[in-house]
């Protein structure tokens, strides 16, 4: 298994290189000027020129590219153009919040999505199935900022159960958990939609298979037939969706982070983009791309766990 | 034994009863993060209020005011001016301590700070100090400033605004680049924690020379999503919130129980700058046609009477030198069409405009677009994100530029940055002269060195008249600042103006 992980990590290098090169080029193709943020809109063109030189933006694109790649190879993400703080510090400051939000959303997504999908398949065309289908459709179609505002209005402003401004970094673990509930439900609901649909269609197929009919005719209890026989065979597509979603959640957390005012990688990316903070943006892309690579490896490893026929060797 | 237990319990209870709960002021700002709070670099709306809590100047704008006429002593207790108006002596307050362990404020810190403000490498406001010949410390509590020429607004340059803020020399030198997020001043509050993209926490300065503030802690939260910020204020998680410059917002929150909405100066002047370097705007008649096609009261009405008023000149109202009765072009569509025909465009003209996607700016410009259409002038928008907009308009790529700004309240600053030929975009000295205007250089330059206040005002008035007549720009409307607070918060003064674009939290500010 270790060989498998190392092989996958090595294979990720060209992917990371391609992502970094694309990001490097894209952020510079987009018009914009970090000096407007740093110096404000009253500074003269001469002082902007001087700052551009100082920031290394006056160098040729190729030279900037080699500098950047050289830094990355040394494990150095550089310093933010706007704040001059080490990018590693900025990333490490927000990474735990992104990870906890992602994990909590995954839990919400699977804990609600899987039973709902199984129930919908079991009671095909019944009220439960209709409910699950409408619920999942609504989950897919609701933009995260709309559902986020609705959750805040009901649970924070009216019921006062949760804070509007997430105290994501509260020292008290209970307070931190309380601040995590609404954002993870908001992000998790989007995933519930997909997981429900995949589970439902997988289960429908499995429940019609011969081995299920055999199990039933042997007189096994219904729960065991559904969960032990049928469901185990649906796990592979579910893991695929969850694995794909891990990457999507990391990328899509941005709207949830903004609405609930939580620190996180997504929010930092938007700030960096708005400020044309090229170096910070590049650093964040390195981290995001790496996170997705890791998520994919974890997904592949999970295949081996849920289906012994899949070997990681 | 029993007696001992009772005595201990009584002491404990008494100490709990006398221990005052910490007074925390939660303020919500419409921004994702701070820009920089080094006072000599801070130019954005989210940075300026923070600077006003941390720093002092030699003089200060009276809290709650945005007018130069209200300047009062701050770190200087008094000052003398030579007969020719070139030499100024400031007598400093003694015993003022910088935050933390950075020691006592002396004339050396003042000299360092003002020199730092005048240096383009360390300051965004260096051009404002070009008039300064020398700054020196006469003794630890006396500073002498010698000017190249007398200027009427010298006190503005040493006020608690932009370059006039006094920093700790030791701290600025020791912290280097970090000073922009950990600045050290003498003000009522000091920074204790900065969480990127989340909040900035300040605690009261126990050694503040006007007395220890009644507020113990300020948590300044960055909440870029308007809806989330409003909800946090409604739910009581915020005590003070940056309001939206929007009529409906003001009406809605004015009705909310326990809330005070304050609409304050300085206003930002929204202006349409016409690029004389581009066809067909190089023809004055086309520019005049645009001026005639604009209906200022209609634009202000659309933006909302509570927060917007029609513009009066090419400089915002209330600045030293603004001609409040400037003769602007009236709205006359027939005249606009006639002028276009006379200029050889009977079928109208099309003008390329780089426009920001920022909703407040885009919807204002859409009103302008529909007004001009009536006269046959077609503004063709190329909508880009806000950063691209800032970059492209400075590359002289737009026929017309919609720009909204507030500046130091002296006409010279606005006129110089937007209408002096040195500031034309593309030049090394460029600032924000998007129109390539050069008709009033002589008056702007003469006013800057005119010692007689009345003559100086007359020169500024002539400059404004020339700019309006040449139609370098069409002033549209002025947008006021909007803030809301809970009735439990008392600033300790009447909040009518905010030179720092936000409420000044002073030693007298309280929260019930």
In terms of Cα–Cα distance, which of B509, B441, B500 is closest to B65? B500
Residues of B in contact with A31 (CB under 8 A): 384, 387-388, 391-392
CA-angle at B367, arms to B361 and B368, nearest 5°: 90
Note the pLDDT of residue B15: 47
Inter-chain contact B429–A46, Cβ cutoff 8 Å?
A: yes
Minimum-distance CB partner of A45 among B180, B384, B430: B430
Q: What percent of chain B has pLDDT over 90?
A: 69
- pLDDT confidence of residue B166: 96
Angle at B339 between CA B334 and CA B345, to 5 degrees: 110
CA B265 – CA B485 distance, rounded (Å): 17
Instruction: Please give the structure tokens belonging to residue B327.
Output: 């003769």
Query: Mind listing the pLDDT tens digit for each residue in B215-269?
Result: 999 999 999 888 889 999 998 999 999 998 888 899 999 999 999 999 998 888 9
What pLDDT, in 10s, does the model give residues A204-224? 888 888 888 888 888 888 888
Cis, peptide link before residue B266, omega less than 30° from 0: yes
Question: In this structure, are residues B162 and B114 in contact, taking their beta carbons and an 8 Å threshold?
Answer: no
Task: Tell me the backbone φ, ψ of residue B199, rounded to 5 degrees.
Answer: -160, 165
Which two tokens mark A178? 């309380």
Contact B124 A259 (CB under 8 A): no
Could you identify the residue written with the tokens 């990018």? A87
Query: Considering only CA atoms, which of B191, B35, B187 is closest in space to residue B509?
Result: B187
Question: CA geometry: angle at B502 spanning B203 and B207, to 5°?
Answer: 30
CB contact under 8 A, B390 and A41: yes
* B388 contacts on A by Cβ (under 8 Å): 30-32
pLDDT at residue B326, rounded to an integer: 95
- Helix-helix angle A144-151:B226-234, to 10 degrees: 0
Global pTM value: 0.82
Q: Which candidate from B41, B221, B427 shows the least CB-CB separation from A45?
A: B427
Q: What is the mean pLDDT of chain B?
A: 90
Half-sphere exposure of A91 (CA within 13 A, CB side): 20
pLDDT score for B335:
96
Closest partner CB to A32 (pick from B196, B388, B428): B388
Which residues of chain B make contact with A37, given a CB cutoff of 8 A? 35, 44, 387
Round to whole Å and give the CA distance between B491 and B511: 9
Q: Return the domain boundaries, chain A.
A: 2-73, 94-274
Are A33 and B33 an interchain contact pair (Cβ–Cβ within 8 Å)?
A: no
The encoded tokens of residue B446 equal: 């003469």
Question: In the 3-class helix/strand/coil scheme, how is A226-246 assigned residue by residue?
Answer: HHHHHHHHHHHHHHHHHHHHH
Angle between helical axes of A61-73 and A278-306 (0-180°, round to 10): 50
- For B41, the 3-state DSSP assignment is coil
The pLDDT assigned to B16 comes to 45
Report the alpha-carbon distance of residue A86 to residue A79 in Å, rounded: 4
CB A61 within 8 A of CB A68: no
Architecture of domain A94-274: Orthogonal Bundle (1.10)
ipTM: 0.76
Name the maximum alpha-carbon separation found in chain B. Answer: 106
CB atoms within 10 A of CB B506: 22
Contact B92, B105 (CB under 8 A): yes
* Partner-chain residue, chosen from B120, B195, B228, that has the shortest CB–CB distance to A263: B195
- Structure tokens of B207? 């050694």
pLDDT in tens, B277-315: 998 999 999 999 999 999 999 999 998 888 999 999 999
Taken in order A155, A160, A161, A165, the sign of the CA dihedral is positive
What tens digit of pLDDT does each residue of B477-504 get? 999 999 999 999 999 999 998 888 899 9
Closest CA to B58 of B144, B139, B118, B122: B144
pLDDT value for B17: 46
Distances, alpha carbon B348 to alpha carbons B273, B375, B414, in Å: 19, 7, 32
Under a CB-based contact definition with an 8 Å cutoff, are residues B86 and B149 in contact? yes
CB atoms within 10 A of CB A34: 24
> Which distant-in-sequence residues (6+ apart) come within 8 Å of A185 by Cβ?
A108, A151
Q: Which residues contact A187 (CB under 8 A, 6 or more apart)?
A: A101, A105, A108, A144, A249, A252, A253, A256
Give the β-pairing of B349-356 and B377-384: parallel
Residues B398/B392, Cβ–Cβ less than 8 Å: yes
> For residue B334, what are its two tokens?
């027939």
Mean per-residue pLDDT pooled into runs of 10, chain A (313 residues): 78 84 82 75 77 79 85 82 82 87 90 90 86 81 84 88 74 82 88 88 87 84 82 84 77 81 85 82 84 82 76 53
- Across the interface, do B223 and A261 touch by the CB < 8 Å criterion? yes
Nearest-CA distance from A116 to chain B in Å?
Answer: 31
- The closest alpha carbon to B196, from B33, B366, B386, belongs to B33
- Nearest residue, CB atoms, B197 vs list A30, A157, A263: A263
Residue in the structure block whose two tokens are 């019921």: A159
Q: CA of B128, closest CA in chain A: separation in Å?
A: 11
| Lookup: tokens for B283 | 């023809």
User: Among all chains, which residue has been given the structure tokens 């900035």?
Assistant: B200
User: Searching chain A, which residue's CA lies closest to the CA of residue B238?
Assistant: A165
Task: Name the residue with tokens 């009447």.
Answer: B494
Beta strands B400-405 and B259-274 are antiparallel
Q: Please tell me the distance from the alpha carbon of residue B450 to that of residue B442, in angstroms, as a whole number.
A: 12
Secondary structure string (H, E, C) spanning B328-377 = CCCCCHHHHHHHHHHCCCCCCEEEEEEEECCHHHHHHHHHHHHHHHCCCE
Tens of each residue's pLDDT in chain B, 512 residues: 455 555 555 554 444 444 567 899 999 999 888 877 899 988 888 899 999 999 999 999 999 988 888 899 999 999 999 988 889 999 999 999 999 999 999 999 999 999 999 988 888 888 788 889 999 999 999 999 999 888 777 898 999 998 999 999 999 999 887 888 889 999 999 999 988 778 899 999 999 999 999 999 999 999 988 888 999 999 899 999 999 888 889 999 999 999 999 999 888 899 999 999 998 999 999 999 999 999 999 999 998 888 999 999 999 998 889 999 999 999 999 999 999 999 999 999 999 999 998 888 898 999 999 999 999 999 999 999 888 899 899 999 999 999 998 888 889 989 999 999 999 998 888 889 999 999 999 999 999 877 788 899 999 999 999 999 999 999 999 999 999 999 999 999 999 988 888 999 999 999 98
In order of their start, the domains of chain B are 24-210+488-511 (3.40.190.10), 267-480 (3.10.105.10)
SS3 for A11? Answer: helix
Helices A144-151 and A173-207, axial angle in degrees (round to 10): 130
- Measure the CA–CA gap between B282 and B292, rounded to whole angstroms: 17
């Amino acid at each position: 298994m270790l060989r498998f992980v190392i092989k996958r990590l090595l294979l990720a290098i060209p992917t990371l290189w391609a992502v970094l090169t694309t990001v490097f080029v894209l952020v510079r193709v987009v018009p914009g000027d970090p000096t407007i943020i740093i110096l404000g809109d009253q500074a003269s063109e001469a002082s902007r020129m001087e700052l551009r030189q100082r920031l290394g933006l006056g160098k040729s694109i190729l030279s900037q590219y080699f500098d950047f790649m050289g830094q990355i190879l040394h494990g150095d993400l550089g310093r933010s153009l706007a704040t001059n703080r080490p990018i590693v510090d900025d990333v490490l400051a927000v990474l735990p919040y992104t990870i906890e939000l992602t994990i909590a959303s995954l839990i919400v997504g699977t804990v609600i999505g899987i039973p709902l999908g199984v129930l919908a398949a079991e009671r095909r065309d019944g009220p439960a199935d209709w409910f699950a289908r409408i619920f999942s459709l609504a989950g897919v179609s609701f933009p995260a900022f709309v559902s986020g505002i609705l959750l805040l209005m009901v649970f924070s402003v009216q019921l006062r159960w949760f804070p509007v401004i997430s105290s994501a970094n509260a020292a008290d673990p209970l307070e931190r958990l309380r601040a995590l509930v609404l954002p993870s439900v908001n992000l998790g609901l989007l995933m519930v939609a997909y997981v429900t649909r995949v589970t439902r269609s997988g289960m429908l197929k499995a429940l019609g298979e011969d081995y299920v009919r055999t199990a039933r005719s042997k007189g096994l209890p219904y729960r065991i037939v559904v969960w032990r026989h049928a469901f185990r065979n649906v796990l592979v597509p579910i893991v695929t969706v969850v694995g794909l979603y891990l990457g999507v959640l990391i990328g899509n957390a941005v709207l949830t982070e903004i609405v609930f005012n939580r620190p996180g990688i997504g929010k930092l990316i938007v700030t960096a983009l708005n400020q044309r903070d090229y170096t910070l943006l590049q650093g964040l892309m390195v981290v995001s791309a790496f996170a997705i690579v890791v998520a994919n490896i974890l997904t592949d490893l999970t295949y081996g766990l849920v289906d012994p026929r899949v070997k990681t060797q | 034994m029993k007696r001992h237990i009772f005595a201990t319990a009584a002491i404990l209870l008494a100490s709990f009863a006398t221990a005052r709960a910490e007074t925390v002021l939660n303020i919500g700002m419409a921004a994702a993060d701070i820009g920089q709070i080094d006072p000599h670099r801070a130019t954005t709306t989210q940075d300026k209020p923070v600077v006003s809590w941390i720093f002092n100047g030699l003089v200060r704008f009276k809290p709650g005011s945005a007018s130069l006429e209200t300047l009062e002593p701050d770190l200087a207790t008094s000052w003398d001016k030579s007969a020719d108006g070139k030499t100024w002596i400031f007598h400093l307050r003694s015993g003022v301590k910088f935050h933390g362990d950075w020691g006592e404020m002396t004339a050396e810190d003042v000299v360092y700070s003002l020199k730092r403000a005048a240096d383009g490498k360390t300051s965004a406001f260096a051009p404002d100090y070009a008039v300064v010949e020398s700054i020196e410390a006469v003794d630890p509590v006396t500073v002498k400033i010698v000017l190249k020429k007398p200027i009427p607004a010298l006190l503005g340059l040493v006020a608690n605004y932009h370059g006039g803020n006094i920093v700790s020399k030791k701290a600025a030198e020791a912290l280097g680049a970090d000073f922009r997020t950990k600045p050290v001043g003498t003000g009522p509050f000091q920074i204790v924690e900065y969480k990127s993209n989340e909040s900035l926490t300040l605690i009261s300065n126990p050694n503040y020379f006007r007395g220890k503030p009644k507020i113990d802690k300020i948590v300044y939260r960055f909440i870029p999503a308007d809806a989330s910020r409003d909800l946090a204020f409604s739910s009581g998680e915020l005590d003070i919130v940056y309001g939206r410059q929007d009529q409906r917002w003001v009406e809605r929150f004015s009705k909310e129980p326990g809330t005070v909405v304050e609409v304050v100066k300085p206003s930002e002047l929204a202006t349409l700058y016409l690029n004389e370097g581009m066809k067909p705007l190089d023809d004055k008649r086309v520019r005049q046609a645009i001026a005639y096609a604009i209906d200022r009261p209609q634009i202000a009405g659309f933006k909302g009477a509570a927060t917007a008023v029609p513009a009066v000149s090419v400089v915002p109202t209330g600045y030293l030198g603004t001609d409040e009765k400037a003769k602007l072009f009236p709205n006359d569509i027939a005249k606009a069409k006639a002028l276009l025909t006379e200029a050889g465009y009977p079928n109208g003209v099309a003008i390329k405009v780089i426009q920001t996607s920022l909703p407040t700016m885009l919807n204002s410009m859409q009103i302008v677009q529909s007004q001009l259409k009536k006269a046959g002038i077609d503004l063709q928008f190329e909508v880009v994100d806000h950063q691209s907009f800032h970059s492209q308009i400075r590359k002289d790529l737009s026929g017309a530029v919609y720009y909204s700004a507030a500046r130091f309240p002296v006409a010279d600053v606005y006129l110089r940055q937007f209408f002096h030929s040195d500031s034309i975009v593309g030049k090394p000295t460029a600032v924000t002269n998007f129109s390539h205007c050069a008709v009033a250089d002589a008056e702007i330059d003469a006013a800057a060195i005119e010692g007689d206040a009345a003559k100086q005002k007359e020169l500024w008035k002539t400059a404004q008249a020339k700019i309006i007549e040449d139609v370098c720009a069409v002033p549209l409307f002025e947008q006021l600042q909007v803030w809301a607070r809970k009735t439990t918060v008392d600033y300790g003064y009447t909040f009518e103006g905010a030179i720092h674009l936000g409420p000044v939290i002073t030693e007298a500010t309280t929260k019930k």
